[in-house]
Chains A and B, each alone.
Chain A
Amino acid sequence: MTLPEGVRERRVRTGGIELCVAELGEPGRPTVVLVHGYPDSKEVWSEVASRLVDRHGFHVVLYDVRGHGRSGVPRPLRGGFTLEKLTDDFLAVVDAVSPDRPVHLVGHDWGSVQSWEFVTVERTRGRIASFTSMSGPSLDHFGHWINKRLTRPTPRRVGQLLGQGAKSWYVYLLHTPVLPELAWRGPLGKRWPGILRRIEKVPAGDYPTPSLASDAANGAWLYRDNVRPRLRRPRADAHAHAPVQLITPSGDRFLSERLYDELAHWVPRLTRRTIPAGHWIPRTRPDRLASWIDDFVTSVERDQERERERTREGGGEVAGEAWSDGVGGPARKAATGRYAERFGGQLVLVTGAGSGIGRATAFAFAEAGARVIAVDRDAESASRTAELSLLAGAPEAWAEAVDVSDEQAMETLAAKVHAEHGVVDVLVNNAGIGLSGSFFDTTPEDWRRVLDVNLWGVIHGCRLFGRQMAERGQGGHIVNTASAAAYQPSKALPAYSTSKAAVLMLSECLRAELADQDIGVTAICPGLVNTNITATASFVGVDAQEERRRQKRSTRVYGLRNYPPEKVADAVLRAVALDRAMVPVTPEARVSYALARFLPRALRALARVGPPL
């Protein structure tokens, strides 16, 4: 495995061994230290490190933990891997690479476990500016977590204990003597790359490195030296002295999300993130990690800058009143939505974002801290959506005036978005128009118009942005707005229902195709929602006056029903967070969905009843 171009290596002596330390980027920039886990070497970070340097301009430092990669191996092994010694190593590395500025620490797996030790012991105070933890709890916190559940067992706590106990099977195995070493140096070491690819979906390539077998064999002592003593007698003072960002993969096979329930007790400044992925996120989700690390490091640096300015100005006392806006630019609204952990910093593109469900969805994502691209045919309403998204909590928002049925324009949009903002994480194909009237009154032109927007718009979106997602290979999600009309036949809506049924089936097929690439596809079936689709819908087979009357009348009916688009937006976020395939939203949409499944004949009878217009 090669680290990116321009890597500078050095050897750092500590505790009788030499550590292999690699550096990337300009030393003047904020320093990010990446600590790898087990069984790994620093090369696990290669993808993340190159992004942190190239895109975000950090000074990145990686090192092989003792006994791993090209660092020295302590002799004897037993007792050579205690957390105290690992802390010595860390301090030696930091003193070498960033002697006068605290570093931003990032740890994965065992790298995170040891980093928790670094960030909670007194002798590192002032050397760590922030810590980003992934998939590795503090052993002390873990010990307290277990004790709490053992001393006061409730059914739920016992369940949590057993759940994590089952996930920790490999820890017990690693405590058996000799066998793990034999396995790693023998068949397991050979098969491991294949296992990672199959089970963890780690992309093929030159990871893991050839040193895997010895890394894994030596690293077993990380567990043997630390797990039992720390879990038996966890430190009572393991409070973090730096801000911590916790990234929890929801599909982690080895660690339960529940482990971190009481973390706020130990960490005064905690930011939580969740990501739908497995354990090896540095390999499977480097883009997302790099951007979260960047966001967090930047915000910490900014806070410290403000702190310094404040102390310089007022000598510790804040000028003016404590609650008034602090020093620096205007306070941006922090993301507060329920799904801020999941969508913070993600790139979300919503079509039809100028009104109704699309606009509400853009706002909901904005509130969760996502970066929003609002696409609408109407430039003015799209830019209005983008503007308010910023106020709602989006760190960035853009407006694009594009007609989704225009293939050329969509291709241009896709290319532009990719070049300027990167790959979309969540795509919401929402744009749609209404058309009502008898089948025989619907002209081919009417059909074309409805299918162009409602179906082709979705096809173009999925084709262009979905392809970018698939090619990136780091997951994503596509939401297509179908309709309750997709499964509920009606004599009044033949064209509209046909287009929406096609969207529903397209979503289902696409979901099957993209499942292997961790891209979820959701079809949302809202039902009667109070938006302006009724006011802009066409009613064929009637004169203009009657059409206006019906638009007004249907708007009134929908207004009386008054199901707000905001609730649909919440359903969209929930559906993405839970990766739902198909979500009927309003109660009537759910009822007719149940009818479609269990009493289709009743639904067919209902289809013959005309709407009350």
Chain B
Amino acid sequence: MTTAPTTAGTRELSAELRGFRRVQRLAYDCAQAVAAELRPGVTEREAARMQREWLRERGVRDWFHLPFAWFGDRTAFTGFRFPLQFFPTDRRLEPGMPFILDLAPVYEGYTADIGFSGALGAHPLQERLMADLAAHRELILREVRERRSLREIYADVDRLMVRQGYANRHRAYPFGVIAHKVDRVRERRFSPRLFGFGTQSLRGLVSDALHGHREGWSPLWSPYRFSDHPPQPGLWAVEPHLGFRGTGAKFEEILVVTDSADPGESAFWLDDDLPHVRGWAGKGATKDTTATKDTAGKAEGK
């Protein structure tokens, strides 16, 4: 289905990848702008609406999914049993509460899906979780470049989380996915949504799923057998989500997978200029300490 990234012969991004990067940056700008506006007493619904309106004013008309906002122990999906519990509630933000904003706008036909973690005031625990996510970002990229099976990579991420002392919370997502494919979406004047998900994007996913079913791959990166295949070229929105008792943290961004033989070109993060990546660079976190697989996670972030 996706052909664009496979042409990326150099790090010079194709026009199409630039389009994806533009919308991903827009989405992160939105998350940062809304996060800066959050005050005690704001509800999850209000935070979700703020994101929707911010992006609407900037020309977003369609969504992969409508924005989510999770506050307090909902950042770790405490007690989540049904998918409906992901939707924003009337929980109010309090000082010292962690929050996660998760939004997936479609802009000029390009899709982004991002996650932004923060807290109202200082939150050492969540900062620690975020710092420890750096090791996961590296692990995922390295193993995708090694063309390991997605299911194995999932298990490795899981093991790293356990070693770090955290619980895997992306397991709570539908199908337990750590990532899913995103794609270009045809712009329609009428784009209804089904349970918060844009129908155009869902169509893309379903058609990918059908294709993949015939060819032996899946647009959902899950712990199950249907993900037991090497990374499929395309754009993957990767969202490792850590939980530690009542606190959760995640990032979500696009990983580009190509069919290039050169390992460096076979997979790369679409954009390295994102808030969480800048945060790690600023703190000098983890680049070196996670270099070897065995110590990854034990020595992170010191």
Contacts and interface: CB of A to CB of B under 8 A. Distances in A.
B167 interface: yes
Contacts of A385: 165
Contact of A363 (B39, B120, B245): B245
B121 A384 contact: no
Interface of B: 39-40, 95-96, 120-122, 124-125, 128, 162-165, 167, 244-246, 298-299
Contact of A566 (B128, B162, B245): B245
A391 B298 contact: no
A258 B135 CA distance: 50
Given A331-B96, A532-B162, A323 B167 contact: no
Q: How extensive is the interface on chain A, given as a class? A: 20 to 34
A323 B99 CA distance: 15
Given A323-B40, A566-B167, A388 B244 contact: yes
Nearest to B163: A381
A324 interface: yes
Given A384-B165, A566-B167, A331 B298 contact: no
Contacts of B245: 363, 367, 392, 566
A384 B164 contact: yes
Nearest to B127: A391
A30 B184 CA distance: 68
17 contacts: A323-B39, A323-B96, A324-B121, A330-B124, A331-B122, A355-B163, A367-B245, A381-B163, A381-B298, A384-B164, A384-B165, A384-B298, A385-B165, A388-B165, A391-B124, A532-B162, A564-B167
A423 B95 CA distance: 37
Contacts of A237: none
Counting chain B CB atoms within 10 Å of each CB, which of A323, A336, A359, A564 scores highest?
A323
Contacts of B246: 336
Nearest to A359: B165
Interface string A82-103: 0000000000000000000000
A355 B159 CA distance: 11
Contacts of A384: 163-165, 298
Contacts of B299: 380
A198 interface: no
Contact of A380 (B95, B167, B298): B298
A116 B102 CA distance: 51
Contacts, number: 49
B164 A331 contact: no
Interface string A547-589: 0000000000000000010100000000000000000000000
B125 A391 contact: yes
Nearest to A324: B121
Nearest to B93: A323
A324 B164 CA distance: 29
Contacts of A391: 124-125, 128, 244
Nearest to A337: B245
A228 interface: no
Nearest to A530: B162
Contacts of A381: 163, 298
Contact of B125 (A322, A324, A333, A355): A333
Contact of B122 (A325, A367, A532): A325
A333 B95 CA distance: 12
Contacts of A392: 125, 244-245
Interface string A192-210: 0000000000000000000
A380 B246 CA distance: 24
B95 A323 contact: yes
Interface in A365-400: 367, 380-381, 384-385, 388, 391-392
Contacts of A564: 167
Nearest to A364: B245
A355 B244 contact: no
Interface string A288-325: 00000000000000000000000000000000001111
A12 to B, nearest CB: 45
Interface string A516-537: 0000000000000000100000
B143 to A, nearest CB: 18
A355 B162 contact: yes
A331 B40 CA distance: 18
Given A331-B121, A336-B246, A367-B245, 10 more contacts: A323-B95, A333-B124, A333-B125, A359-B165, A363-B165, A380-B298, A391-B125, A391-B128, A566-B167, A566-B245
A319 to B, nearest CB: 14
A117 to B, nearest CB: 35
Contacts of A363: 165, 244-245
Nearest to A326: B121
The 7 closest A-B pairs by CB, nearest first: A323-B95, A391-B125, A325-B122, A380-B298, A388-B165, A323-B40, A324-B121
A334 to B, nearest CB: 9
A385 B163 CA distance: 10
Counting chain A CB atoms within 10 Å of each CB, which of B39, B122, B165, B167 scores highest?
B165
Nearest to B120: A323
Nearest to A562: B171
Interface string A334-361: 0010000000000000000001000100
Nearest to A569: B245
Contacts of B162: 355, 532
A443 B287 CA distance: 45
Nearest to B158: A559
Counting chain A CB atoms within 10 Å of each CB, which of B39, B244, B245 scores highest?
B245
A330 B122 contact: yes
B133 to A, nearest CB: 15
A385 B244 CA distance: 12
Nearest to B171: A562
Contacts of A330: 122, 124
Nearest to B39: A323
A224 to B, nearest CB: 49
A388 B165 CA distance: 8
A380 B294 CA distance: 12
A363 B246 CA distance: 11
Contacts of A325: 121-122
A335 to B, nearest CB: 12
A564 B168 CA distance: 11
A568 B61 CA distance: 47
Contacts of B120: 323
A259 B114 CA distance: 51
Nearest to B300: A384
A206 B207 CA distance: 86
Contacts of A359: 165
Contacts of B124: 330, 333, 391
A325 B123 CA distance: 9
B136 to A, nearest CB: 16
A331 B122 CA distance: 7
Interface in A422-481: none
Contacts of B125: 333, 391-392
Contacts of B39: 323
Nearest to A334: B96
Nearest to B97: A323
A424 B167 CA distance: 29
B224 to A, nearest CB: 11
A388 B246 CA distance: 13
Contacts of A380: 298-299
A558 B200 CA distance: 39
A333 B122 CA distance: 10
Contacts of B128: 388, 391
Nearest to B299: A380
A336 B39 CA distance: 22
Nearest to A356: B162
A283 to B, nearest CB: 37
Nearest to B297: A384
